[in-house]
Structure 1
Amino acid sequence: MKRFNRSYLKCLHWRGPQRCTLLLLSGCFILILLSFFLLPSPDVYSEFGPRSQLVSNKFESLLFELIPPRLESRVDCSAIINGNMQEIDKAKQVSMHLKNTHEELTTESYLELTSNCLEFLEIRGYLKSSLSRDEFEFSIAYSILITEDVEMAERLLRAIYRPQNYYCIHVDSKSDAIYKVFLAIASCFNNVFIPERRLKMIWGTFSILEAELICMETLWPFARWKYFINLTGKEFPLKTNLDIVKVLQSLNGANDIHANIRETYTERWRYHFHYPPPWFRPVKGSVHIAASRSFVDFVLHNETAAKILSWVKTLPKFHDEVFFSTLNHNPHLMVPGSYTGDLDTDEITKPHVSRYKVWNTSSHYFCATNRWEKYICILTTGDLPLMLRSIHLFANKFYLQEDRIVVSCLEEWIYNATKDGFLETRQINISYYENLDIVKNQIRIPITS
Structure 2
Amino acid sequence: MRLLKQGMFLLKLTIALGSLWILFLLTRNKPGEEKMCNCSGILQGGREALEQAKLLTINKDFQKSVHIPDEHYMSATKNCSEFKLRRKYFTSPLSQEEEDFPLAYSMVVHHKVQNFERLLRAIYAPQNIYCVHVDKKAKSSVLSAIWAITACFPNIFLVSQPVDVVYAAWPRVQADLNCMADLYNSSTRWKYVINLCGQDFPLKTNLEIVRTLRSLKGGNSLHSEEMPAAQVWRMRNAHKIIDGTNQGTGKANDPPPFNMPIMYGSTYIVVSRGFIRSVLEDSRVPALMEWFKHTFIPDEMFWATIQRMPGVSGSTPPHRKYDMSDLNAIARLVKWQGLEGSQDSPDSAYPECHGSHVRKVCIYGAGDLEWMLKQHHLFANKFDIDTDPIPVYCLEKYLRKRALSELQ
TM (norm. structure 2) is: 0.81
Q: Distance in 1 between matches of 2:226 and 2:318?
A: 13
Q: Distance in 2 between matches of 1:227 and 1:14?
A: 41
The question of 1:328 aligning with 2:307 is answered yes
Q: Distance in 2 between matches of 1:405 and 1:370?
A: 11
Q: Which residue of 2 aligns with 1:43?
A: none
TM-aligned CA distance change 1:324 to 1:341, over 3 Å: closer
Of 210-219 and 197-206, deviating more is: 197-206
Deviations 1:395-439, CA, capped at 9 Å, x for gaps: 00011121111110000000011011121xxxxxxxxxxxxxxxx
TM-aligned CA distance change 1:173 to 1:422, over 3 Å: same
Larger strand proportion of the pair: 2
Q: 1:284 aligns with which of 264, 267, 279?
A: 264
Q: CA deviation at 1:198?
A: 2.3
Q: 1:398 aligns with which of 380, 383, 393?
A: 383
The question of 1:233 aligning with 2:198 is answered yes
Q: Distance in 2 between matches of 1:14 and 1:164?
A: 35
Q: Which residue of 2 aligns with 1:303?
A: 283
Of 226-235 and 276-285, deviating more is: 276-285
Q: Which residue of 1 aligns with 2:166?
A: 202
Q: 2:337 aligns with which of 340, 360, 367?
A: 360
Map 1:28-427; keep pairs closer than 5 Å: 73-97=35-59, 100-175=63-138, 176-222=140-186, 223-262=188-227, 264=229, 268=233, 271-273=236-238, 274=253, 275-315=255-295, 317-330=296-309, 333-340=310-317, 342-344=319-321, 351-362=328-339, 363-364=347-348, 365-369=350-354, 371-423=356-408
Root-mean-square deviation (CA, aligned residues, Å) is 2.4
Q: CA deviation at 1:269?
A: 6.4
Q: Distance in 2 between matches of 1:349 and 1:394?
A: 12
TM-aligned CA distance change 1:354 to 1:81, over 3 Å: same
Instruction: Report percent identity of matched pairs.
Output: 34
Q: Displaced runs of 4+ in structure 1, greater than 4 A?
A: 13-16, 265-271, 344-350
Output the amino acid matched with 1:186: T
TM-aligned CA distance change 1:334 to 1:141, over 3 Å: same
Deviations 1:184-233, CA, capped at 9 Å, x for gaps: 11221110010243222221111110100110111112341000000000
Structure 1 SS opposite 2:106: strand
TM-aligned CA distance change 1:408 to 1:418, over 3 Å: same
Deviations 1:133-179, CA, capped at 9 Å, x for gaps: 11000000001111111101000000000000000011111222111
Structure 2 SS opposite 1:145: strand
Q: Distance in 2 between matches of 1:267 and 1:108?
A: 45
TM-aligned CA distance change 1:407 to 1:338, over 3 Å: same
Structure 1 SS opposite 2:406: helix
TM-aligned CA distance change 1:305 to 1:270, over 3 Å: closer
Deviations 1:100-155, CA, capped at 9 Å, x for gaps: 42421111111111111111111111110111011000000001111111101000
- Unmatched segments (≥5 aa) in structure 1: 1-12, 17-70, 424-449
Q: Distance in 2 between matches of 1:286 and 1:124?
A: 32
Q: Distance in 1 between matches of 2:352 and 2:324?
A: 18
Q: CA deviation at 1:314?
A: 2.2
Structure 1 SS opposite 2:284: helix
Q: Distance in 1 between matches of 2:235 and 2:302?
A: 17
Q: Which residue of 1 aligns with 2:250?
A: none
In the alignment, is the contact (CA less than 8 A) between 1:14 and 1:123 conserved in 2?
Answer: no
Q: Distance in 2 between matches of 1:180 and 1:412?
A: 28
In the alignment, is the contact (CA less than 8 A) between 2:106 and 2:131 conserved in 1?
Answer: yes
Q: Distance in 2 between matches of 1:142 and 1:184?
A: 18
Deviations 1:362-408, CA, capped at 9 Å, x for gaps: 23132333621121111110100011111110000011121111110
Output the amino acid matched with 2:364: L
Q: Distance in 2 between matches of 1:302 and 1:345?
A: 22
